[in-house]
Each structure stands twice: as C-alpha cells, then as structure tokens.
Amino acid sequence: MDTVALASQPHEISDCIVIGGGPAGLTAAIYLGRFLRKCMVIDAGGGRARSIPRSHNLPGFPEGIGGAELLAGMTRQAETYGAIVRHGTVDRLALTEDGFSVGLGASMLAARTVVMATGVFNHRPIMPDKMHDDALARALLRYCPICDGFEAKGMKIAVLGCDRHGAAEAEFLRPYSAQITLLAQRSPDLEWPDEVRLNQSGIETIKDAVNDICVDGNQIVVRLRGGRELSFDTLYPALGSTPQAQLATGIGADVNDLGCILTDAHQQTSVPGLYAVGDVVEGLDQISVATGQAAKAATAIHNLLRERAQRFATAHAASSSQSTRPPEAARRRLHLKT
C-alpha cells in the first residue's frame, strides 16, 4: 500500500474520503468505486480485523478466513473498481465550503463527503505488546465471544473483567464450557444479583486481583496478587474499548455515552456529508454488520451527490436561461411581432 503523497493536493476533490481501511471502510470503497465515484481510503494499519487469526462466522467461507487475507482481498477488490487505497494516519478533519478537508501530516486532501470507518481500540490486559500479539495470533487470547465462542467449546476459559460487562461475557460463554472463571484486573466491581446469577450458573468468580499474565506453552498463565497461579486454555479480556471517534467529534458529530458515533438510518452523522460505519458506530461489532452499514452509507453518498449534481444543473440552466433572456424592451418588441 503506498503512503499518501506529502505534497498538498488542493485541486483534487474526491467524492469521498474513507478514513480507515478495515472491512467497513473497504466495503464502502468497493461500492463507491462501482458507482463510478472518485474515492480514496486512508488507513493507518493495525485495526481489529487484521488481528483475527481465523474467522469462522463470515458467510461464504466455510473453512474460515484470516483477517489479513480478508483485508488483502477486499483491498484488491476496491482497487479493481478504481478506489485509491493509501497508508497514512488522518490527524485533522475540518469543514469547508465544498465539504471537508482531511489532513495527514503535511498533506491536505479535499472531499465532498467523508466516511469514518476508524473502528474501536480494545483495552488490553497488562502484558508486554509482543507477548499480547503472539497470544492473540495463537488464540490464547480472544476478544470476541460472539465471533469465536464456538471455537472455545469445552476449553478452560478465563474472562478478565470482574464487573457487569465481564459477567455478561462469562454468561454468554457458559453454554460452550463448564469451566469458566471470572477474574478481576483490579478490584472486583460486581453487584449482588450478578454474583448470585454467576454462582447459580457454575461460573467461578475470583476476587483476588490479577498481578500478571503470561504464556507458558499452550496455556495462558495468570498470577494473582496473593501469589496463586492459575492456567487456562484461553482468556477473554472484557475490559471495554474506546471508539476512535475524535476526528468526527472535533467537527461536531454526536456520540452516545459510550463514545460511539450516532447516525441516522443511512449512516449519516449529525454533520451533513459525514458518514460513520463499522465498530465506531454503536452496534454488534461484527464484520457482517460493518459491511452492511458500509453498503448503506456508500449508496446514500452516491444518491446525495447525484441529487446535488441535479440541483446544480437545474440552477445553472435557470440562471443561464435568464442571462440569455432578451431585455424587457426587446421582449416586448418580440411580443409585438408575434
């Protein structure tokens, strides 16, 4: 993937700049390219989809598919239809007369519309980055019970996050395994009814906070503050996430109390011409949902730009017919003649 040219390109106006090249952003680009729209995707790399070792719930991939392979295919598909996909981090977004200016370091790009497809950042357990990424690649760490609870069937599972959110994840996983333990990263914050329910469903709750987490062979090993050591086949951090919404909120887009960008039914935010799709929008945080939202946003953008072009053509035709209209006296003469 090329990096965005550093020179400023003020005369090049894209129909749409998509910020984020995960499944959501790339689907928007595939649709916009096929609508013959001039579209650029700018992607910082990383992202949640890229970290998927193998996804088994995507329709059409009965043997599953890795996140990186999926993104490579989607990038090629978007480029086939003329979308430009570039590596870079957008650090500025502003409103202009024509739409938006999108800034990356010294570069400044212009777009009639913008799609925010920037995803969320998962809060991680305290462990070195490399160990974290290796454990994720080997599915010793997992972030999405909806995605891969099935693959964890019968395993000894830990859920890290001893609060309402962690309790909900542990209960979601319960049908897949009889050995589920809820751990606390810091002090536990469980309400009494949650504790009773967990107990009734046979989920063990450990209140001694976690001191550190490491990998030992095929196990994930958790050391508690009191010195006890526990090992698991897999661990789900349930520590919440932060939506990457700052660029949108900076120009006035509304968010909910979790920081997810709010949109209408066509994925348009409270800022006209600014759309948001994928995990950064409140929803099920799944690839199928992200691609569905992107299809809706791209079609709405295409229709919006068609309507604008039609309005412009009508206004232009009216003003040019007025300017070619003969002056009043001449019109009267013409009228007298007929």
Could you give the 3-state DSSP secondary structure of residue 100?
Answer: strand
Does residue 48 belong to the site contacting ligand FAD (CB under 6 A)?
A: yes
Q: Which residues contact 187 (CB under 8 A, 6 or more apart)?
A: 209
Window of 154-162, 190-198, 234-242, 281-289 that interacts with ligand FAD by CB under 6 A = 281-289
* Position 143 contacts ligand FAD (CB under 6 A): yes
Which residue matches tokens 């579209």? Answer: 39
From the list 38-46, 153-161, 207-215, 321-329, the region that binds ligand FAD by CB under 6 A is: 38-46
Which residues, numbered 196-235, are part of the site for ligand FAD (CB under 6 A)? none
Q: How far is CA 268 from CA 27, 113, 307, 328, in A?
A: 16, 10, 16, 47
How many CA atoms, within 13 angstroms, populate the side-chain half-sphere of residue 318? 6
Q: How far is residue 334's CA from residue 338's CA, in Å, rounded to a whole number?
A: 7
Rounded CA-CA distance 234/25 in Å is 30
Judge contact between 91 and 268, C-beta under 8 A.
Answer: no
Report the nearest approach of ligand FAD to the CB of residue 71 (Å): 8
Q: Which is nearer to ligand FAD, 19 or 32 (CB)?
A: 19
Candidate residues 113, 118, 185, 267; the one interacting with ligand FAD per rule CB under 6 A: 118
State the burial class of residue 224 (Cβ atoms within 10 Å of its Cβ: 0-12, 13-18, 19+).
middle
For residue 51, the minimal CB distance to ligand FAD (Å) is 5
- Write out the two tokens for 327: 């002056």
Rounded to the nearest whole angstrom, what is the least distance from the CB of residue 67 to ligand FAD in the complex?
A: 7
Q: Which of 9, 10, 36, 46 touches ligand FAD (CB under 6 A)?
A: 46
Both tokens of residue 145? 């019970």
Does the footprint of ligand FAD cover residue 185 (CB under 6 A)? Answer: no
Q: Does 249 bind ligand FAD (CB under 6 A)?
A: no
Size of the site for ligand FAD (CB under 6 A): 38
Judged by CB under 6 A, does residue 155 bind ligand FAD?
no
Cβ count within 10 A of residue 258: 12
Q: Is 244 in the site for ligand FAD (CB under 6 A)?
A: yes
Identify whether the C-beta of residue 217 lies closer than 8 Å to the C-beta of residue 232: no
Q: Name which position in 4, 16, 18, 42 contacts ligand FAD (CB under 6 A).
A: 42
Site for ligand FAD in 77-96 (CB under 6 A): 89-90
Binding window for ligand FAD (CB under 6 A); candidates: 2-10, 29-37, 142-150, 253-261: 142-150
In angstroms, rounded to a whole number, what is the distance separating the alpha carbons of residues 69 and 327?
67
Q: Which is nearer to ligand FAD, 99 or 119 (CB)?
A: 119
Spacing of C-alpha 89 from chain mean position: 15
* Region binding ligand FAD by CB under 6 A among candidate stretches 251-259, 285-293, 297-305, 322-330: 285-293
Q: Which pair of structure tokens corresponds to residue 230?
A: 């526990």
Check binding of 125 to ligand FAD (CB under 6 A): no
Q: Per the structure block, which two tokens stand in for 101?
A: 């200016």
Task: Answer whether 287's CB lies under 8 Å from 23's CB.
Answer: yes
Question: Which residues in this chain contact ligand FAD in the complex, by CB under 6 A?
Answer: 19-25, 42-49, 51-52, 55, 57, 89-90, 117-119, 122, 136, 143-144, 147-148, 244, 278-279, 285-288, 290
